Amino acid sequence: MVDGKWINCPHCDAPCLEREPQPGHVLICGRCDSTVMVPLGKRTLQPPLALSITGLFLLLLANTEPILTFDVVGRYQSDYMITGVIELCRQGYFPIALLVCFAAIIAPAIYLSAVFYLTFATVFRVKLPGLLNVIRLGKVVSPWNLIPVYSIATVVSVVKLRMLGEVHWESGARFILGVAVMSILCHQVSDKEVALKRLEEMGLEIKP
Amino acid sequence: MRMSDQTRVNLSQALVVTGLILYIPSNVMPVMTMSIVGSVEPLTVMGGVRELYDSGLPLIAGVVFLASFVLPFAKLAALAWILFHHGSSNLRRERNKVFKIVHKIGSWSMIDIFLISVLAAVGQLGALASIRAEPGCIVFAIVLLCSLIAAEIYKPRLIWEDV
């Protein structure tokens, strides 16, 4: 008879015996070699909270400031994030416009808001409604948060446009880069296990 | 609503096959047309890469080539291989590793779709410069969505299950 609770590997679902790993050690799934548990210790969710707040502010600015200005023999046009979506709609490419709008504007906003909501609740120990649904939402939306890809596409578009005319970077480009960096860092430092553990400590019932 | 494992496998297979079928048209059809001072030039995904390379930007051309041409196919081929072996006990560890890589690759192929969006936004200067999206971009987007959704629907635990 083995003592301890059986938990499932988050990657392949294999049952693993839960053992709190020692500092510096991790619990690895014997089947797929994925990390099942890391020592949580006193790890907090303050870094993702700070990153998500910064990311949300930068996303707001990225959507209100122009990204670049294209100038051909004195006639110029500025580009905002939403301008591309509107222009694609105008050209009759509504599905592409929707895809761009979702992946570059809506998904990053939902992802960062979900991280903010969850980390705010755990850091300040506030029992906010629907926390588990927010975790699920964040997990679903995370692969669609393509703001880092959008920032690279902006660089490539500038390279392409420079072949045709003059291009001037605007402040929105810096904010997009900022949101991309915040999103990547948020993804790296957000730990679902820490969040669930902290919610359990708050007395919230966590269903698998 | 929960999807059954069999539905997950069938749906992933259908998406991967659709993606593979549409992969060639997505690379042959022009994704946008650039009209600069009267000269109209339809651009395919590869055409855009070649243009960047010819302009002395091999690094950027390489990034776009990898993201738009190699990755979508590699992702679909890898998923097809994983799904082909679904239910068998062969190469499970290898399939698991490949699946992890497929997930890590993510959606860098979306560069081209975002590129069209940025270019179309600024390329509205009448007769001087006009950039229009073309139906090829819809086919290209379908290929990307097929690979993205198939990778999300198929769960790694299914690799370890016997049928």
pLDDT tens for A142-174 read 989 999 999 999 998 988 888 788 899 999 999
How far is Cα B96 from Cα A58, in angstroms, rounded to an integer?
Answer: 37
What residues in A contact B54, CB-CB < 8 Å? Answer: none
pLDDT at A19: 78
Helix H segments across B29-126?
45-54, 58-65, 71-84, 92-105, 111-122
Q: Does B36 touch chain A if contact means CB atoms closer than 8 Å?
A: yes
Read off the pLDDT of each residue in B34-39 and give the average, rounded to a whole number: 79
Residues in CB range of A66: below 8 A, 6 or more apart: A78, A79, A80, A170, A171, A172
Model confidence, pTM: 0.88
Are B160 and A95 inside 8 Å of each other by CB? no
Band of pLDDT at residue A95, cut at 50, 70 and 90 = very high
Partners of A87 on chain B (C-beta within 8 Å) are: 117, 120-121, 124
**CA A83 – CA A63 distance, rounded (Å):** 10
Structure tokens at A8: 């499932």
For β-strands A166-169 and A15-17, DSSP reports them as unpaired
**φ/ψ of residue B149, rounded to 5:** -70, -40
Name beta bridge partners: B130: B35, B124
Q: What average pLDDT is seen over chain B?
A: 89
- pLDDT, tens only, B96-129: 999 989 888 877 888 989 999 999 988 877 777 8
> Is ipTM strictly over 0.90?
no
The predicted pLDDT at position A159 comes to 85
The pLDDT, as a whole number, for residue A202 is 80
B29 touches chain A (CB under 8 A): no
| C-alpha triplet B97, A133, A188: angle, nearest 5° | 45
Give the pLDDT of residue A205. 67
- Summarize pLDDT for A16-28 with one digit per residue, the tens: 887 777 777 888 8
DSSP state of B108: G
Other Cβ atoms within 10 Å of A50 Cβ, number? 17
CA atoms within 13 A on the CB side of A135: 19
Rounded to whole angstroms, the Cα distance separating B161 from B163 reads 6
- Percent pLDDT > 70 in chain B is 99
* Torsion sign, CA atoms B101, B103, B105, B109: positive
* DSSP E strand boundaries for chain A: 6-8, 15-17, 27-28, 35-37, 68-72, 75-79, 166-169
Give the lowest-confidence range in A64-68, A79-83, B15-19, B51-55.
Answer: B51-55
Q: What is the pLDDT of residue A141?
A: 92
**Most confidently predicted of A182-196, B37-51, B74-88, B113-127:** B74-88
**A149–B145 CB contact, under 8 Å:** no
The pLDDT of residue A30 is 84
Q: Which residues are CB-contacts of A190 (< 8 A; sequence separation ≥ 6)?
A: A45, A48, A115, A119
> Which of residues 134 through 153 in chain B touch A, CB cutoff 8 A?
137-138, 141, 145, 148, 152
Q: What is the pLDDT of residue A106?
A: 96
